[in-house]
Amino acid sequence: MHPRERIRNIAIIAHVDHGKTTLVDRLLQQSGTFRDNETVRERAMDSNDLERERGITILAKNTAVQFQDYLINIVDTPGHADFGGEVERIMKMVDGVLLVVDAFEGCMPQTKFVLRKALEQNLTPVVVLNKIDRPNARPAEVVDEVLELFIDLGANDRQLDFPVIYASALQGFSGADPDKLENSMRPLFETITRHIPAPRGAADEPLQLQVTLLDYNEYLGRIAIGRVNRGIIRQGRPVAVIGRDGAVRSARIEKLFGFRGLKRMEISEAGAGDIVAIAGLKELKIGETVADPACPEALPPLTIDEPTLKMTFLVNNSPFAGKEGKWVTSRKLRERLYRELETDVSLRVEDTDNPDAFVVSGRGELHLGILIENMRREGYELQVSKPEVIVKEIDGQKMEPFERLIVDIPEDCTGPVMESLGTRRAEMVNMANAGDGQVRMEFLIPARGLIGYRSLFLTLTRGYGVMNHAFDHYGPYAGGQVGGRHQGVLISTETGVATLYGILSVEDRGTLFVQPGTEVYEGMIVGEHSRENDLVVNICKEKQLTNIRSATKEETVKMKAARTFSLEQALEYLNDDEYCEVTPSSIRLRKKILNKGERERAEKQRKMAEAGAGVGAAGGRPEVG
């Protein structure tokens, strides 16, 4: 057990892709954690398949390194705004943060979000200007930006006196002066031990530990990870577990683990300030307190910001239901969604009047998209509706979430981007010309205005634009239609297999989403119409064979490439009357009502209801003919 004065607990926080996980890699390597002949893959902390595929951190994970006689516990956190719930609860585990900022990009929306959370917990910051080796790095300006951000967020005098380390996590060098860098991470290690305070809490007081992370092992079952707030925790010792509702139940610590590098090491005891993993406590949930049975005192509950986006998850009822998935019933779908609540504290799941539908609320499209992707990989079949923002009533006024959007675009794309954002009720708050043909613009925009905007943005900037956004505040509801898709869709009228002849016959009507040989069903969306209205098409029809030779038989037919969607693109593309059907091997778009006649009747009834509501609001009475 390390003496408390020689323990440092830090979280690494940053905007997405500013180099947090690479920095952890370098700290692990240069601390002597790995043997010289040990093979370690890049981004060692990104252990999840989705994390490695997408190159982003989704789940917070912890490790520990030894520097001289100090034990430094490091928690790597996600950089994307949609996983902010992971960042918020990690702040309870640590005493300081490494704020990693790209030496060229500077402060971005998520930089502000994560720093605000750290300052609210009164944590001690160390600023790391990463990627200092970039040819267009601007360290002096970025340090000024960071200082302005600290002042804007109300940092106290102690927090404003933050040390700055200039580093390149990729190359493995760092230093307190950008012109005098050492070929190691020693300056950063020394800054951590010197500026980050030792954890508070006394070993002679009753035990208190709050569960912050959950893991699972097929031999040990559920494993809880948390920081010992006070007292000593021992293997084999009875403890009291205090639930979120205040109920106390008895349990026993079967296994106790400490951390060293990427490994867990079994230990007999740990004291105040240590971050440990516990096995043997069944049904343990995030936010619960493990305490001394003689003095069961709960720690304050974890406070997590509320979700801003919701979607409806439904049982798959398409004609192809059950063909590709393993879990297809509402009971299995409900079990899986409620099981996710145990580990994801920023998620909400609600039952509806329909036993086959569940409303799932999260932080953003990516947050919910990752959940759907995990479920389809586990063998689930489901349907999801278009994402909707969560509108609240605050002090009698209707309010909706607003996002802070930062775009970096070529100078000649400024007009089209500003015009497209103007139609989505965006308000520009800042604009800066970098002088190298690039412009950075900052907007406040209703969150619903960003749904489906990314693909349009990439088209307007010819793929050269970069956009980042994070939740900013709840503001007055803008009203009216914001954003949305302007093109109609091509809808299949038949169930069968798409043929080359059928596809070529409708190719000039728009862009197709399917290829010859693809199975389709009535009501399935097979393409995008070139006009605003929906169009029903038959892409299953085959050319009638005759014994008369065609004059154009020898002509070569060229078919346009089909447009394919990733899961996130499919969710963005949806309209209010459509579902996205997700299975382990397919992503399909479909209308909620599959039959053309029933769709037309429903649309007619909707228009009549809107007309009646309009007349009623005007105080008139519809004319009877």
- The predicted pLDDT at position 41 comes to 53
Half-sphere exposure of 44 (CA within 13 A, CB side): 18
In sequence order, the 6+-apart residues with CB closer than 8 A to the CB of 508 are none
Return d(Cα 78, Cα 89) in angstroms, integer. 12
Are residues 207 and 239 in contact, defined by beta-carbon separation less than 8 angstroms? yes
How confident is the model over 204-263, as pLDDT tens digits? 889 999 888 888 777 887 888 899 998 899 998 899 999 888 888 888 998 899 888 777
Topology given in CATH for the domain delimited by 4-195: Rossmann fold (3.40.50)
pLDDT at 553: 57
Instruction: Count the Cβ atoms, other than its own, within 10 Å of residue 584.
Output: 15
φ, ψ dihedrals at 31, nearest 5°: -90, 0
Q: Where in the chain is CATH 2.40.30.10?
A: 208-291
Question: Residues in the chain with pLDDT < 50?
Answer: 37, 554, 621-625
* Unique residue bearing structure tokens 């809808």: 491
Integer Cα distance of 470 and 242 in angstroms:
34
Look at residue 299 in the predicted model and tell me its pLDDT: 87
Q: What angle do CA 206, 212, 215 make, to 5 degrees?
A: 115
Q: Is residue 79 classed as helix, strand or coil in its secondary structure?
A: coil
Element containing residue 527 per DSSP (H, E): strand 525-529
> Which of 26, 107, 3, 47 shows the shortest CA–CA distance to 442?
107
Quick one: the chain helix, strand, coil %, rounded to 5? 25, 30, 40
Contact 232, 269 (CB under 8 A): yes
Under 8 Å between Cβ of 279 and 258: no
* SS3 at position 185: coil
- Residue 623 to residue 625: CA distance in whole angstroms: 6
Q: Where are the beta strands (DSSP E) in 193-254?
A: 208-217, 221-230, 232-234, 238-242, 248-252
> What are the DSSP E strand ranges found in 269-338?
269-271, 275-279, 289-291, 309-314
Which residue spans of the chain are classified as CATH 3.40.50.300?
4-195
DSSP one-letter string for 449-491: HHTTHHHHHHHHTTT--EEEEEEEEEEE---S--S---S-EEE
Torsion sign, CA atoms 383, 389, 390, 396: negative
Question: DSSP letters of 355-385?
Answer: TTEEEEEESSHHHHHHHHHHHHHTTB-EEE-
Q: What is the pLDDT of residues 25-58, one digit of tens each?
A: 888 887 766 555 455 555 555 566 776 667 677 7
Rounded CA separation 372/362 (Å):
12
Token couple for 552: 């154009």
Contacts of 582 (CB under 8 A, 6+ apart): 316, 372, 375, 376, 380, 381, 382, 383, 384, 567
Beta carbons within 8 Å of 221's beta carbon, 6+ residues apart: 279, 280, 282
Residue 106 pLDDT: 86
Predicted local confidence at residue 623, as pLDDT: 44
Cα separation, 435 vs 426, whole angstroms: 25
d(CA 64, CA 264): 10
pLDDT at residue 196, as a whole number? 92
399, β-bridge pairs? 392, 476
Instruction: Report which residue type is found at 63.
Output: T
Query: Euclidean distance between the first and final Cα of the chain, in Å?
Result: 88
In the chain, list all ranges with CATH 3.30.70.240.
392-476
What per-residue confidence (pLDDT) applies to 625? Answer: 36
The CATH label, of 2.60.40.1120, 3.30.450.20, 3.40.50.410, 3.30.70.240, for the domain at 392-476 is 3.30.70.240
Tell the residue number behind the tokens 């600290």, with chain if given. 150
Residue 309, beta-bridge partner list: 362, 389
Q: Which of 388, 308, 366 is nearest to 80 (CA)?
A: 366
Q: What angle do CA 1, 230, 58 make, to 5 degrees?
A: 80
Domain 309-389 has CATH 3.30.70.870: yes
List, by residue range, all CATH 3.30.70.870 domains of the chain: 309-389
Pick the CATH number of 208-291 from 3.40.50.2300, 3.90.1330.10, 2.40.50.220, 2.40.30.10: 2.40.30.10
Q: What is the CA radius of gyration of the chain?
A: 28
Contact by Cβ (8 Å): 274, 2: yes
